Amino acid sequence: MISDTVQFPPKSKNASGELRKMGLEIEFSGLPIDRIASLVTMCYGGEMVAESDYKKYVRNTRLGDFNIELDWILLQKLAKTDYFHKFGEDIGIEIDSRWQRSVEKLLASTAKPFVPFEVSFPPVTFDRIAELEELRKAIYRMHGKGTSASPFNAFGLHLNPETPSRDPGVILRYFQAFLLLYEWLRLSHEIDMMREITSFIDPFPDNYVDKVLDPEYHPDTGRIIDDYLIFNPTRNRPLDMLPLFAWLDKDRVSSRLADELIRPRPTFHYRLPNSSIDDPGWTFTREWNVWVQVERLAESGGKLTEMQTLFLYRKRHPIKSWTEKWMREMRTRIMN
């Protein structure tokens, strides 16, 4: 049973000796953007700054800076670049800015049932994770809608724990631990069916999983990035490694995925959990504690290697593995 008391991973500091941090992004619907911004200032202070009607910031809070945006890239681009005005200039027609705003509002209104707002929290040290719950509770009280509120709500919670090291061997261990625990993580987070059938958290390809978990796989930074890009030229993975890899080698990643919006940062971008913001018993902390089990396995030494060997053995000998499991269960039943 995963508790709601903040758990700490084995490695609390990064390679520079500073305390590691965790960022968080939560998707939900049901509230206008100005109301969301006011909830942030109510919980943490700060001042609201607007970039457009669909993207706003709350600066200088006691935790840092928050971003709030409609999670629809097309609409954001239209609002930010004055697209319709420029289009009118290109074809020799003057387009009234009021008409552009009307089209934006129509698009936003149409998107509301399916496109969430996303709040990006500033990174905080692990001992301050509990403070993030203040905004979660405020959103719940104002009737924010999460994943289960509609069959179409493929909303997620994204956790961004800072990597403890830029060493490829360390990064590989954490990635291997995630792959080994993937099925357990799915069950622990109780992943919503809509999120499973959409493409947002597609599992890693089996042949790539086998490659990464092979005990003989010892890549340097360049190879681990190249192999990832060959098998995963997408952001839609439950553990999106592209922000971390772009931080390690931006040119290598952008040369292959020039059209993807990737913000380089030294974090594991963990996208698996639901956004259950409308469930009074749900907490960010519990979802974080599930992730901590990945870090514990990554730092477990022999246990990680043992699980790798067992995982690959069972994949390569499925019938024998099933038979052995059945025999163990039968012996247990007979002994009891």
Give the pLDDT band of residue 81 (cuts 50, 70, 90).
very low
pLDDT tens-digit profile of 197-239?
878 899 999 999 999 999 899 999 999 999 999 999 999 999 9
The predicted structure's pLDDT at residue 287: 97
Complete domains list, the chain, with CATH: 21-71+116-300 (3.30.590), 72-114 (no CATH)
Burial of 15 (0-12, 13-18, 19+ CB in 10 A): middle
**Residue 35 to residues 30, 41, 52, 155, 214, Cα–Cα distance (Å):** 10, 10, 15, 19, 50
Distance, CA of 40 to CA of 57 (rounded, Å): 10
pLDDT tens-digit profile of 14-31?
999 999 999 999 999 999
DSSP secondary structure letter of residue 259: T
Q: Which helix (H) or strand (E) holds 119?
A: strand 117-125
Q: Which residues contact 127 (CB under 8 A, 6 or more apart)?
A: 6, 8, 19
Cα dihedral across residues 207, 213, 217, 219: positive or negative: positive
Distance, CA of 157 to CA of 155 (rounded, Å): 7
- Residue 151: count of CB within 10 angstroms of its CB: 9
Q: Is the pLDDT of residue 75 over 50?
A: no
| pTM (predicted TM-score) | 0.84
